Chain A
Amino acid sequence: MSEATAPKAVEAPLTFLDDRLGSTTFFKRNMKKVFPDHWSFMLGEIALYSFIILLLTGTFLTLWFKPSMGEVVYNGSYTHLRGVTMSEAYASTLHISFDVRGGLLMRQIHHWAAVLFMAAILAHMLRVFFTGAYRKPRELNWLIGIGMFTLGMLEGLFGYSLPDDLLSGTGLRITQGVAESIPVVGTYLYMFLFGGEFPGQDIVPRLYMLHILLIPGLLLGMVTAHMMIMWVQKHTAMPVKNQTEHQVYGYPFYPVFMAKTGAYFLFTFGVLALLGAFAQINPIWLFGPYDPGAISSGSQPDWYMGPLEGALRIMPNWEITALGHTLSLNVLIPALVPLGIIFGGAAAWPWVEAWVTGDRRHHHVNTRPRNAPVRTATGMAAVAFYGLLWLAGANDILADKFHISLFATTWFFRVMVFVGPFLAFIITKRICLGLQRKDADVIGHGVESGVIMMSPEGKFSERHEPARDEEKQVILSKENARLQPPARDARGIPAPGAKGPLGHLRARLNRAWTFDDIPVEEHGHGEQEEIEGGRTSQEISH
C-alpha cells in the first residue's frame, strides 16, 4: 500500500461523508487502494464507459423516439422517402436523424457505443481467460461477465430492431423464426412475444420497454456488482517484480489511478465521438421502412449477433416431421448449440479446470498464457470456432467483395468450423510449449549477449549473460507441473481420486494438462540441457 494521503481539499469532504454516513473511514481508506497497472486491465473500462455513454445518449434519443407501429405517411426533410407509408417508429427515427439538432450524431454515438461496449466486453473476457484471472476466488465475477455479454446481445438486438427499418425487420423475422423453432411451445412463445401474427402492432413498444428499462436496469445492477466484487477481491495483477499473492503492487487509487481512469473515460468518449462524427452507422434512411414483402441481400446483424447468423447460414436444411409436428433443426441447432457451447463452456470452465488440476487455491497473480498451454489452446480453439462462425455470418459479403463463389464459402465454413478449432488448439499449444522452452533456455543459459568468444583451442562460442532481474521474475512466475501420483501403483491399486470412470477421466485430463510441461527453473548448465532433451523426445511421441 502506498503512503500517499489526499490533500485537504479531498480529505475534508471525505471526512464529512464518513462522519455523516457512518461509513467510518471507508472512503478515506479506499482512496489509497492500490491498483496494478497494465494496459489490458483497461479493456473492461471501455465497456464501463461505453455503457455510461449509452445511458446518456439513449436518454437523449427517448425524448423524440416514438415506439409505435402506427402507420403514418412521411412528410419530413428526407425527400427520397416523402409520401411513403411507414411506422411511427421509423418516421420518428428519420425525424431524429434529419430534423433534430444533433440527433444524427447522438444516434451514431449511441450505436457506435453499443458496438464498442460489446467488443470491449469480449476483449476483456479474452484477457481474463488467457491470464487465468477467473480462477478462485473470482469465479462469480466471471459468471456475471458472461451474463452481461449475453444480456448485451439481447439489448443490442432489441435496440437496433426499434427503428423498424428493412434491415432490423429482417432480424426480427429471424427472431420470430427462432422462437417458433423451439419444440412444443415455439408457436405460443412467438405469439406471446409479438402479441399476434408477425409483425403486428405490439412488438416495437414491447422491445422498447425491454430496451430502455428492464435490460439496462439489470445491466446496471450487474455492473455495480461486478465492480464491487472486483474492489473487494482486489484486481488481479501481472506477475511482475514485487507482486506477490499476498500484496498488490501498483499505484494508489488517488491520485494516480483516478487520473488514469478519468483520462481513459475521456479517451473512450473521444473515440466514440470521432466514430459518431466521421463514420456513418446504421443509415436507416437507405434501408427503407420495413415491409414483410421486401428483403435485401447483405442483410447482417450487428457484429455480436454475427456468430448466430453464421451458424444459421451454414446449417444444412434438416427438419424432422413426426406425428404432424415439425422439428426445425435447421433453426434450432444454429440458435442454441454454437453459443451454448461457447457460453456454457466458458461458464463451466473455472470449475472444470479446478477439478482437472486439483488446484483449489486462491489466485491473485495472473498466469502468463504460455504457462498454461492447455487453457490457452482451448481458448484459441473457442476463438477460432467463434471467429469462423462470425465470418460465416458475412459469407455473402465475403463472396461478393473477394469474388469467391458463395457456395464455396458456405462449404469452407461448414468444414472449417469443425477443423479450425482443432488446428487452433494444436498450433497454440505448440507455440506455448516453444515459448516455455525459450524461457527455460533464458533461465538455464542466460540471454544471448552477441559477444563471440574464442577459446585457446580455437573454439568459438557466444557468451550468455544472466537475464535482468525484472525479466527473471516474470519468467520464474511459472508454476512447474507437480508430479502426479500414477493412476495405478505397482500393485495395481488406483490412486486416490482416480477411482471410478470420473476419477479415471480426471486422471487422464490431468495428465493431458501437465504431461508436456517444460520446467523453468534455475539450474546448473548441464542438467537443464538434459531435461530439455528428455522433454523434447517425449513431445514428439505425443
Chain B
Amino acid sequence: MKRITAWRRRPWAGYAVVLAALVAIGVVYAGFSPRTDRAEAQSTAQAAEDLKNGQKLFDKNCASCHGLNAQGTKDAQGNAIAPSLIGVGAASVDFQVSTGRMPAANPGAQVPRKTPIPTFNTSIKTDYEEKDKREAAEKQKAQAEKNLADLRAYIASLGGGPEVPPASAVDPAKGNVALGGKLFRTNCAQCHSFTGQGGALTGGKYAPPLSKSDVTPTQMYEAMLTGPQAMPVFNDTTLTPQDKQAIISYLVKTREEPNPGGNSLGRIGPVTEGLAGWLVGIGLLVLAAMWITAKKPKKLKKS
C-alpha cells in the first residue's frame, strides 16, 4: 500500500488512472460486442469498395462525356455535350444503362435503345444445357447486376435523386388497367401512339415503342419518374405512384392481349389497313379477274 500511496503523489498518476480506466472500458466493451464492431468495419470497407467500383465503372464508361466529376461537359461554343449527373439519381442511371442507351455509341438527335454493353447487360442468356457454360453466364449476370448497382450507388452518392422503384410498385398485376388506359391516352398516347407502338417527334427525335417485352415495368416507371431525352418528367404529384402503376398495367396487359380480329397489322391504325386493302384485297381480286377472263369457254372459243 505504501508504494501505491507513494505513486499517487507522482505527477503522472492522474493520467495513468485515466488511461487505465479507458483501457478497462475498452477491454470490457470489446468483450461484450466484438462481432458488431468488426462487421461494421467490414461493411464500411465493402461499401467503400463498391463505391470505388462504381466510380471506376463511371470513369471507364461515362466520364469521357459526362466529365470526371459527373459535372457534364460543353463544346467550344458552350453547347452541352453531356448533362451533369449530379442529382439525377439511381432511377435515371438504371433506366439509361439497363436500356442500353448509355453508354451512348454516338451523339445524335436521340440516343437509341440497344443491347447494354456486356459490363452492364443483366439480361443475358443463362439457360445453357452445359453446366460450366451456365455457371459462367450466371456469374457474368451477377457481376453485371453488381456493376449496375455500384454505378447507381456512385451517382446517387454524388447528389441523391429519385430511387429505383421497388418491385411491388411496378407490378402490372396490381394496377388498375382501365384507369391506366385513360391516363395513357391523356398523357402518353400523343407521342407513343394508342397502344405504345411509338411515334415520330420533331427534329429527328422519336417516342420509342413500349410494345415489346424488353421494355420492363421498372424501366417504364423510371422513364416517367426521370423523363429521359425528349420525354417530360411525370413526378409523383402529376402522376401518383398508383397512376404510374396503372399505366404500366395498361401497357403490359395490352401488349400481352391477343388480337381477336386476326393479324394485328402492327396496331398502328389505318395506314397498314389501307396498304393491306390495296395489296392483298385488290391484288388477289385482280389475279382472280385475270384468271377468270383468261378462261375461254370451249364451245364459244373463237380466238
Q: Which A residues fall within an 8 A CB radius of B?
A: 2, 4, 37-43, 46, 79-84, 97-98, 104, 108, 111-112, 115-116, 119-120, 123, 166-167, 240-242, 251-252, 256, 260, 263-264, 267-268, 271-272, 274-275, 277-283, 286-288, 291, 293-303, 306, 394-397, 399-400, 405-408, 470
Q: When A288-B182, A396-B200 are in contact, do A279 and B278 touch as well, CB less than 8 Å?
A: no
CA separation between A108 and B297, bound complex, in Å? Answer: 36
Q: Is the CB of B189 within 8 A of A267?
A: no
Q: Is the CB of B280 within 8 A of A275?
A: yes
Q: Is the CB of A271 within 8 A of B253?
A: no
CB neighbours of A408 from chain B (8 A): 204
CA separation between A281 and B281, bound complex, in Å? Answer: 13
Label chain A's interface by main secondary structure: helix
Interface pick from B16-24, B82-90, B287-295: B287-295
B186, B257, B276, B302: which contacts A291 (Cβ < 8 A)? B186
CA separation between A386 and B271, bound complex, in Å? Answer: 16
CA separation between A275 and B282, bound complex, in Å? Answer: 11
Q: Is the CB of A406 within 8 A of B201?
A: yes
Is B100 engaged at the interface, CB distance under 8 Å to the other chain?
no
CB neighbours of B31 from chain A (8 A): none
Is B27 engaged at the interface, CB distance under 8 Å to the other chain?
no
CB neighbours of A295 from chain B (8 A): 189-190
Q: When A80-B250, A280-B261, A280-B264 are in contact, do A399 and B200 touch as well, CB less than 8 Å?
A: yes
A39, A98, A399: which contacts B260 (Cβ < 8 A)? A98
Complex A-B: 24 CB contacts under 8 Å: A39-B290, A39-B293, A42-B293, A80-B254, A81-B181, A83-B178, A116-B277, A116-B285, A119-B278, A242-B303, A251-B300, A263-B292, A264-B288, A267-B292, A275-B276, A278-B262, A281-B261, A288-B181, A297-B191, A298-B199, A298-B269, A302-B273, A397-B271, A405-B203
Number of A-B contacts defined by CB within 8 Å: 202
B207, B253, B263, B285: which contacts A80 (Cβ < 8 A)? B253
B178, B200, B260, B284 — which one has the most chain A CB atoms within 10 A of its CB?
Answer: B200
Label chain B's interface by main secondary structure: helix
Report the 4 A-B pairs with minimum CB-CB distance, sorted nearest first: A303-B274, A280-B261, A297-B199, A42-B289
CA separation between A405 and B108, bound complex, in Å? Answer: 12
Q: Is the CB of A38 within 8 A of B178?
A: no
> For residues 97 through 119 of chain B, which have their beta carbon under 8 Å from a beta carbon of chain A?
109
Closest to B200 in A: A399
B195, B206, B250: which contacts A400 (Cβ < 8 A)? B206
Other CB < 8 Å A-B pairs besides A83-B178, A297-B207, A406-B202, 9 of them? A81-B181, A119-B277, A123-B282, A242-B302, A267-B285, A294-B186, A297-B190, A397-B271, A406-B203
Q: Is the CB of A302 within 8 A of B274?
A: yes
Q: When A82-B178, A296-B185 are in contact, do A260 and B269 touch as well, CB less than 8 Å?
A: no
Q: Is the CB of B203 within 8 A of A271?
A: no
CB neighbours of A104 from chain B (8 A): 260-261
Is B286 engaged at the interface, CB distance under 8 Å to the other chain?
yes
- Min CB distance B101 to A, Å, is 16
- Min CB distance A67 to B, Å, is 22
Q: When A97-B260, A294-B185 are in contact, do A112 and B268 touch as well, CB less than 8 Å?
A: no
B178, B193, B281 — which one has the most chain A CB atoms within 10 A of its CB?
Answer: B281
Q: Is the CB of A396 within 8 A of B199?
A: yes
Closest to B286 in A: A39
- Min CB distance B285 to A, Å, is 5
B181, B203, B207, B263: which contacts A407 (Cβ < 8 A)? B203
CB neighbours of A274 from chain B (8 A): 284
Q: When A80-B253, A287-B194, A297-B207 are in contact, do A271 and B285 touch as well, CB less than 8 Å?
A: yes
CA separation between A539 and B269, bound complex, in Å? Answer: 48
Q: When A293-B186, A303-B274 are in contact, do A286 and B292 touch as well, CB less than 8 Å?
A: no
Q: When A295-B190, A296-B189, A301-B270 are in contact, do A267 and B280 touch as well, CB less than 8 Å?
A: no
- Min CB distance A423 to B, Å, is 23
CB neighbours of A97 from chain B (8 A): 260
Q: Is the CB of B259 within 8 A of A280?
A: yes
CB neighbours of A260 from chain B (8 A): 292-293
Contact bitstring B152-189, A, C-beta under 8 A = 1, else 0: 00000000000000000000000001100110011001
Closest to B267 in A: A286
CB neighbours of A400 from chain B (8 A): 198-200, 206
- Min CB distance B190 to A, Å, is 5
CB neighbours of A299 from chain B (8 A): 269
A80, A120, A263, A282: which contacts B273 (Cβ < 8 A)? A282
- Min CB distance A390 to B, Å, is 9
Q: Is the CB of A37 within 8 A of B293?
A: yes
B185, B257, B271: which contacts A300 (Cβ < 8 A)? B271
CB neighbours of A394 from chain B (8 A): 271
Q: Is the CB of A79 within 8 A of B190?
A: no
Is B13 engaged at the interface, CB distance under 8 Å to the other chain?
no
CB neighbours of A291 from chain B (8 A): 182, 185-186
CB neighbours of B109 from chain A (8 A): 405
CB neighbours of B303 from chain A (8 A): 240-242, 470
Is B141 engaged at the interface, CB distance under 8 Å to the other chain?
no
- Min CB distance A318 to B, Å, is 20
Q: Is the CB of A267 within 8 A of B281?
A: no
CB neighbours of A240 from chain B (8 A): 303
CA separation between A295 and B273, bound complex, in Å? Answer: 20
B189, B190, B276 — which one has the most chain A CB atoms within 10 A of its CB?
Answer: B189
Is B192 engaged at the interface, CB distance under 8 Å to the other chain?
yes
Q: Is the CB of A302 within 8 A of B200?
A: no
CA separation between A406 and B268, bound complex, in Å? Answer: 17
CB neighbours of A115 from chain B (8 A): 273-274, 277, 281
Q: When A119-B282, A286-B195 are in contact, do A298 and B268 touch as well, CB less than 8 Å?
A: yes
Q: When A295-B189, A405-B204 are in contact, do A112 and B261 touch as well, CB less than 8 Å?
A: no
- Min CB distance B207 to A, Å, is 7
CA separation between A267 and B198, bound complex, in Å? Answer: 37
Is B242 engaged at the interface, CB distance under 8 Å to the other chain?
no
CB neighbours of A293 from chain B (8 A): 186
Is B231 engaged at the interface, CB distance under 8 Å to the other chain?
no
Q: Is the CB of A84 within 8 A of B182?
A: yes
CB neighbours of B268 from chain A (8 A): 298, 397
- Min CB distance A337 to B, Å, is 23
CA separation between A306 and B194, bound complex, in Å? Answer: 19
Q: Is the CB of B277 within 8 A of A42?
A: no
B181, B273, B293: which contacts A303 (Cβ < 8 A)? B273
B250, B257, B269 — which one has the most chain A CB atoms within 10 A of its CB?
Answer: B269
CB neighbours of A82 from chain B (8 A): 178
> For residues 210 through 259 of chain B, which have their beta carbon under 8 Å from a beta carbon of chain A?
250, 253-254, 257, 259
